[in-house]
Amino acid sequence: MEKIIESLISMMNGIPAELIVFIISLMPVLELRGGLIAASILGVDIWKAIPICIVGNILPIPFILLFIEKIFEVMKNTRFVKLINRLEAKAEKGAQKIMKHKTWGLFLFVGIPLPGTGAWTGSLVAALFHFKLRDAVLSILGGLILATAIMCFISYGLPYLITMIAGR
């Protein structure tokens, strides 16, 4: 993931660091996790990076929760049908992990930073499997808070600890 982020940063050379962090946080797959790594690489202060990454990651979520089924329905009649089938298969795979514990499953799915998890996929699962909107939103927001804490430690805390230990 770090190599992808570094290449995105170099492609956006000249753009303010905070805007790069925001754009990366908006992207599926990278999301908040990638945004915090980018912020750390770019030297953005952690307290500035956190709200930028959270807002960037949250922005697409209401659209996914409210409109993705209609969008998929329309796109299935276009040349994007294979993409839609892949996205639905990904949601199905994620749903198997989530549906066992519903709200808590969605919270953990979004919150634990593993490949293929996150707010985008969690929202897709919640929408396609008809979670109550309130439950979905609360689980996703809670998961984002957990992911933020974990990724702040990985992106900022570990490098600081390593620097402190190496400096002794």
The mean per-residue pLDDT over the stretch 58-75 comes to 93
Distance CA 140, CA 126 (A): 9
Residue 159 has a CB neighbour count (10 Å cut-off) of 12
Q: Confidence band (pLDDT; 50, 70, 90) for 168?
A: low
The mean per-residue pLDDT over the stretch 27-43 comes to 95
Is a pLDDT exceeding 90 seen at residue 37? yes
- Half-sphere exposure of residue 105: CA atoms within 13 angstroms, side-chain side: 13
To 10 degrees, what angle do helices 31-42 and 17-26 make?
160
Residue 67 has a CB neighbour count (10 Å cut-off) of 11
Distance CA 8, CA 132 (A): 36
Q: Confidence band (pLDDT; 50, 70, 90) for 115?
A: confident
The mean per-residue pLDDT over the stretch 138-163 comes to 96
Is a pLDDT exceeding 90 seen at residue 116? no
End-to-end CA, the chain? 30
Is a pLDDT exceeding 70 seen at residue 120? yes
Amino acid at 131: F
